[in-house]
């Protein structure tokens, strides 16, 4: 029999546990209610150290940096879980408008043009722009840019500042490129005379490329500030501003700025280079040895993407080829029209439309890998359909007539008689299509898939180098293509021996 005191104590204990749980849950709900979601997605362009970049040490695939630390601090204060995704810088605002993310942090400046499409937080960091040019160019200020060709990163505040400078200084030509490492190489190759790059990013490039110099542009012309971008009318602006102001007041922003920008300067100061300013290339593959595991991690993604696209594209191409040789005119017209559209428009356009438009049209948040496989399946199917159709029609008509006369059903005839013979004829063409898909898989990097080439570009951005990681990635592609070619040759030889 339970004693009354023990019974009451047990009830009291249960009550206290339930009460504390309710309080904790209420606090959690209250924190989450500040933003209305338990998980928020941040999208960035992680090729811009020290703001955001990949930690490639020991093969890690974690995005770190000044902006990431700020986002994590805000997430802790507002009680939501942070999810970080990526895209090219010029695709960040389109991704925001397509509801693929809740906010953007990428060292982005709230220009009037951008404010027409998105809302911004308060500015959380001020930076200056610099002119980067060859050390013997005698370019030290904006007036020296007269008659020069200058490079800028597409979609950045530096592009806007370059336009303002060009309006005041005659003869300036602006060349827009996707990434800062590409801009540096354009200067070194002599295709552009100078570039406008943010100071914290430019210093790293200058340290590794002593043939270049930088000069800070006066703040009245080149000052820029970083802010967080949100979809128009977002309810996140107010709570985020509150935390950012709190970080300014308690010194947290200054602390993080010292951590990352001082770390960047220290990293640059310890960097060693043997570059000869008289040479256009200075290859030292020792610089990427620690990053090789990171690049190699892109191989499974590339192979998965390629083989899924080939497998599904072969099925879809076969179906289209059967429609093309069908006696039903509407089906033939549809297959030909489909092939015309997908062969007549750029693959990158198709990829972008599927990735950004699908969430808005269907409500389904298609992943970058899914969008890539779907796009390449639709595109390769159009090309494969012509190859397969040609292979089918190359089979002697007597084979078909003999099968029909023997009463063999059409599906069985195609699977057992026609397709095996057609496959032998079209195998080299299918191998070529597979190789093309393997190399074109690098296009999915534009929507945030980190495959082989994107991994190499990330390493290049982190190390402020260009050729070494790209050449290493090229060697990987070559080995994969050679392996695929060897396997296809062995299969073709076996098929011919079975004749």
Residue 158 to residues 162, 202, 222, 223, 225, Cα–Cα distance (Å): 6, 12, 8, 10, 11
- List pLDDT tens digits, range 393-404: 777 777 777 777
Q: What is the pLDDT of residue 29?
A: 37
**Residue holding tokens 């509801």?**
99
Q: Which two tokens stand for residue 476?
A: 């990987």
Per-residue model confidence as pLDDT tens digits over 229-245: 999 999 999 999 999 99
Which residue do the tokens 């559209």 mark? 341
CA distance 458 to 328: 51
The mean per-residue pLDDT over the stretch 438-452 comes to: 85
**Position 430 confidence tier, pLDDT thresholds 50, 70, 90:** confident
Res 273: pLDDT: 46
Between 253 and 218, whose confidence is greater? 253
Contact 301, 369 (CB under 8 A): yes
Cα separation of 216 and 223, whole Å?
Answer: 10
Fold category of 294-497 in CATH: MetI-like fold (1.10.3720)
Residue 17 has pLDDT above 60, yes or no: no
CATH superfamily of 129-222: Periplasmic binding protein-like II (3.40.190.10)
Each residue's pLDDT tens digit, 26-82: 443 343 446 678 899 999 988 888 889 888 876 677 899 999 999 999 999 999 999
Alpha helices in 152-223 (DSSP H): 157-168, 180-189, 199-208, 219-222
Q: For residue 492, with 0-12 CB atoms within 10 Å meaning exposed, 13-18 middle and 19 or more buried, which class applies?
A: middle
Do 199 and 214 contact (CB within 8 A), yes or no?
yes
With 0.75 as the threshold, say if the pTM is over it: no
Which DSSP helix (H) or strand (E) runs through 239? helix 237-249
Beta carbons within 10 angstroms of residue 242's beta carbon: 16
Q: How far apart are CA 499 and CA 496, in angstroms?
A: 5
* Residue 141 backbone dihedrals phi, psi, to 5 degrees: -145, 180
Partners of 198 in the β-ladder: 129
Q: Would you give the distance in Å from CA 293 to the centre of its chain?
A: 19
Q: How many angstroms separate the Cα of 419 from the Cα of each of 314, 322, 368, 388, 422?
A: 12, 11, 34, 9, 5
Beta strands in 97-169 (DSSP E): 103-104, 118-120, 125-127, 129-134, 149-153
Question: DSSP secondary-structure letter at 217?
Answer: P
CATH number belonging to domain 34-124+228-265? 3.40.190.10
* Sole residue written with tokens 């072969």: 314
How many angstroms separate the CA atoms of 217 and 199, rounded?
A: 9
Is it true that 34-124+228-265 and 129-222 share their CATH fold? yes
Which pair of tokens denotes residue 371? Answer: 């969008």
Q: Where exactly are the structural domains of the chain?
A: 1-31, 34-124+228-265, 129-222, 294-497
Adjacency order of strands within the sheet including 173-177: 173-177, 149-153, 194-198, 129-134, 212-216
Q: Are 78 and 31 in contact (CB under 8 A)?
A: yes
């Amino acid at each position: 029999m339970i004693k009354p005191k023990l019974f009451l104590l047990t009830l009291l204990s249960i009550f206290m546990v339930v009460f504390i749980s309710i309080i904790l849950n209420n606090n959690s709900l209250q924190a989450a209610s500040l933003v209305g979601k338990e998980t928020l997605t941040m999208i960035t362009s992680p090729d811009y150290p020290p703001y955001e970049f990949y930690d490639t040490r020991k093969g890690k695939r974690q995005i770190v940096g000044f902006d990431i630390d700020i986002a994590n601090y805000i997430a802790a204060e507002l009680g939501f879980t942070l999810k970080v995704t990526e895209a090219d810088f010029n695709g960040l605002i389109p991704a925001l408008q397509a509801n693929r993310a809740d906010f953007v942090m990428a060292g982005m400046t709230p220009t009037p043009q951008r404010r027409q499409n998105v809302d911004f937080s308060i500015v959380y960091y001020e930076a200056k722009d610099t002119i980067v040019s060859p050390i013997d160019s005698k370019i030290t200020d904006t007036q020296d840019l007269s008659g020069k060709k200058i490079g800028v990163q597409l979609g950045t505040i530096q592009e806007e500042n370059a336009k303002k400078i060009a309006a005041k200084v005659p003869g300036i030509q602006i060349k827009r490129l996707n990434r800062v490492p590409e801009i540096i190489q354009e200067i070194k190759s002599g295709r552009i005379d100078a570039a406008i790059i943010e100071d914290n990013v430019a210093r790293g490039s200058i340290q590794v490329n002593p043939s270049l110099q930088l000069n800070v542009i006066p703040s009245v012309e080149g000052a820029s500030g970083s802010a967080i971008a949100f979809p128009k009318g977002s309810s996140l602006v107010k709570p985020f501003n509150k935390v950012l102001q709190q970080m300014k007041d308690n010194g947290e922003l200054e602390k993080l700025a010292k951590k990352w920008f001082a770390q960047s300067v220290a990293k640059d100061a310890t960097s060693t280079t043997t570059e000869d300013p008289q040479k256009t290339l200075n290859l030292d593959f020792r610089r990427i040895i620690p990053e090789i595991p990171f690049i190699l991690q892109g191989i499974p993604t590339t192979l998965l993407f390629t083989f899924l696209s080939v497998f599904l594209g072969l099925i879809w191409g076969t179906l289209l080829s059967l429609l093309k040789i069908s006696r039903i005119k509407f089906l033939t017209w549809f297959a030909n029209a489909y092939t015309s559209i997908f062969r007549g428009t750029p693959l990158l356009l198709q990829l972008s439309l599927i990735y950004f438009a699908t969430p808005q049209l269907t409500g389904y948040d298609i992943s970058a890998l899914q969008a890539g496989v779907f796009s390449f399946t639709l595109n390769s199917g159009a090309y494969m359909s012509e190859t397969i159709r040609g292979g089918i029609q190359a089979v002697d008509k007597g084979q078909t007539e003999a099968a029909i006369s023997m009463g063999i059903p059409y599906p069985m005839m195609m699977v057992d008689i026609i397709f095996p013979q057609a496959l032998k004829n079209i195998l080299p063409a299918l191998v070529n299509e597979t190789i093309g898909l393997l190399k074109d898989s690098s296009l999915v990097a534009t929507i945030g898939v980190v495959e082989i080439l994107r991994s190499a570009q990330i390493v290049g951005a982190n190390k402020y180098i260009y050729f070494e990681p790209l050449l290493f990635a090229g060697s990987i592609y070559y080995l994969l293509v050679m392996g695929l070619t060897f396997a296809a040759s062995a299969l073709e030889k076996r098929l011919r021996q079975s004749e």
